Amino acid sequence: MTDLPQGVPFDPETDPPVGPRVDATPRPLPARIPHRGRAVDLEPLHVRHAPELWRAAQGQPAEASWAYLGYGPFASEAAMRAHVGAFAATHDPMAWAVRPHATGTADGWLTLMEIHPAHAHIEIGHIWFSPRMQRTRAASEAMFLLMRHAMDELGYRRLTWKCNALNMPSRRAAERLGFTYEGTLRNVLVVKGRRRDTAWFSILEDEWPGRRDAIAAWLDDANWGPDGRPKRSLSAFRG
């Protein structure tokens, strides 16, 4: 078995080799429930969020926040309302509106998606944050709340993140949160009439406790000054 791919786990008692046994119990499906954080609340997405989301989307060139998504920008509040109404009715992806405490308004959305209970695999994605919410504590905590829900509360073994391979802000966010880059699927989608290569990242169950504890320590109130800036970077908590 010396010619096996490096880093691929296997059961040494099998021939030919197969993967180690795991708890094959199907994981629960996510529920449409709110999640509360120190700097942000997540609310199951509803059409009533549309007016606030429309206002939050204003004030930035369209390509800046919608370029890598399969929808948007929206030409009118009615168009966004139609999208939000349909989006809120789906179960995969399952969407939450993001309400930072600093503004008190719905300033973005994100989802759990590609939900595979039998394989304990789930993805965080469809992340859209308004201009005023980007690169804030609330943005990081919003993602962390769903990551923790998936891994700790629902018990999934694999959490993935994927993005357009050209989307450098998304790639940096994945790496900052502790996701491991797995590779790029070339020419795998057509989005808005353009070729999309997709970069894949993951966190596995044995990696999650260290990632979780680092993010939780970074988000802790003790790490944030009165100016709303962190005293130490997230990377400092990973050791």
CA distance 121 to 115: 6
Q: Where are the domains of the chain?
A: 35-237
pLDDT by position in tens, the chain (length 239): 568 888 899 999 999 999 999 999 999 999 999 999 999 999 999 999 999 999 999 976 656 789 999 999 999 999 999 999 999 999 999 999 999 999 999 999 999 999 999 999 999 999 999 988 999 999 999 999 999 999 999 999 999 999 999 999 999 999 999 999 999 999 999 999 999 999 999 999 999 999 999 999 999 999 999 988 999 999 999 86
Three-state SS for 78? Answer: helix
Q: Please state, in angstroms and rounded to a whole number, the distance separating the CA atoms of residues 1 and 16.
A: 9
For residues 224 and 231, give the distance between their C-alpha atoms in angstroms, rounded to a whole number: 6
CATH superfamily of 35-237: Gcn5-related N-acetyltransferase (GNAT) (3.40.630.30)
pLDDT at 234: 96
The pTM (predicted TM-score) of the whole model is: 0.95
Q: What is the pLDDT of residue 1?
A: 55
Strand partners for 188: none
CA distance 80 to 83: 5
Report the candidate in 135, 127, 68 with the shortest Cα–Cα distance to residue 98: 127
